[in-house]
Structure 1
Amino acid sequence: MTTEYTGEQLRAAVADAVRAPSLHNTQPWRFRLVDGGIEVSVDPLRGLPATDPTGWGTRIAAGAALFNLRLALAVAGTPATVRLRPYPADPDVVARLVPDVPRRPTPVEQSLYGAISHRFSNRAPFWPDPVPAEARWRLGEAARAEQCWLELVIGTTAVNAVAEVARSAHRVLERDPAYVAERAEWIRSEPAPDGVPAGAGGPQSEPQDLLPQRGFGGRNRAPGRDFEPEPLVAVLGSAGNTSADQILAGQALQRVLLTATDAGLSVSMLSQPIEVPAAREALRMSLGRFGTPQMVMRIGYGQPGRATPRRPVEEVLDLPVASA
């Protein structure tokens, strides 16, 4: 039985971990070996003070990277036991992973792992094809497997209610000059290992759009390429809203995203209703759910695309640390 992870295992798993999503593709995570265990930390130097003043988005991103890390280790036959927020005195460390009993990966783990390199945020309009019931069930099961819930918003009235909350939150955020300026700092017109390429920003928003789009410098849309009038909207939530709940939600988010990718679906994320506290509460009330909404998603079938760039693995690794 493996009692310690090695530097080679760390590097291999981190190459998959960094494929996780993050606000503005800031990639706010770090990884290191400590006494044979792998620690996942947030990178405070990559925070977004105007967009994410509480660190919610950073912890969601770290949780998503943690799920990819778990998956990579499991598929390699070296699954991990995970402890969230292991050091109360060091809240930047979101998780510590130590080797569990070696085993063969499950078919589900293999399928989700295979989706990591194909997952990307699709901000373009989707096709009108409905998402089948079986795929919807799989998405809900993915959230439940990570101790979270996924509410599929069904019916024109319900979708319109969520859309109004999202548009209202978007208007609030767009009135904040610091928020707008911070987003502009992460738009990339030239090749870069982080940030959002202008070409991946999706088409420019237009008044008839049901759901708001962030202004990532997107292109004008082709004639007849309006966004779908009846999108499948899903809200991911957790039981509470502590830091640990947000890390759990990040893991659930990534599992849902990979499940969608494995089913041939495209997803775009709308975090505006989560970033504005009053909008988040309005969203929760409109759903009639206990717990805390953590992400809104638009799900459907879309044109193939590609993931945004990632920093080299060596840039997010810290040297091994030995205990005194």
Structure 2
Amino acid sequence: MPNVPTTTPGPDDTEHTLEDVTETIPLITNVHADKQSGRANDATEISDEEAYAKLKAKRAERRRKKLIRRGIAAGVVAAIVLIAVVVTLVINAQPQGTSGPVTDMVTEGTFTTTVEAKGQLKPISSSVVSPSVDGTVDSINVQAGQSVNEGDVLMTIKNDELDRNVAEAQRAVAAAQEDLANAKKAAAAAQATPTTDVDGASAAAGVSDASADTNAVSAAQRSLASAQANLDQANAKAASRTVTAPSSGSIVELNAKVGATVTGGMIMGESDTSGGKQCMQIADLSKMKVTVQVGEKDIAKIAVGQSANVTYPAFPD
């Protein structure tokens, strides 16, 4: 019976070789020439050293494959660990909302913020010149940008009707004054005439005449007072033709022109149907205000700065 070598699994082959199982290697036979038959054996004899070398090579191949599998497993584990670390760093780097107040050290310094915006510059106080009488502009004594004081004459208005009213009121006063003078003369004459007590009828008539003269004087006085009141009213209205400054300041708007029509305190143009324009405007340019349209972001900047500086061009004096 030929010798059959057996091998047991080594320490590196435990996970691939079952217990109580022997590994069969190729049969090694010693072939001897058959002297009696005279046939030559063409098979190649395999020595024990060659069989052992093949066994070592097979074991080395198994170990190499095992190392490759272990390397792949270790690479997968390392990749998983690396991904976990990267994800953790990304999550920790993200801001965590408003979970609590953010504090920081405060240092003293100068804060400056600038917001550019367009707006309207207007005086805090101003007054519109509005004549109280109608007519046509007769003269203008100021020009735009000029400084004026309260009470200065700005312009005059021509109104012939007001002149006629004053003249009529003056004639009425003169007539009332004449009537009063005549009534007083009559009363004085009645009092100077002696009364003869001839009979009771004559005395009664004298008393009645004196009373009538006294009543005539009283009526004339009332007429004169009424005529004088009408004259004062006409003069006051006529005086309104001279327009004066209601306040001190600068002429910032002037629409009145000589010969222009004034109606309801407004200057009317030749084809003006919109109600006209104001004659002129006086403003105190020493106190100004500016109205600016500012967006929400700019308001936030101003709120942080707690101040806002506004510059504007100066008006001519």
Q: TM-score, normalised by structure 2?
A: 0.17
Computing the radius of gyration from Cα coordinates, the structure with the larger value is 2
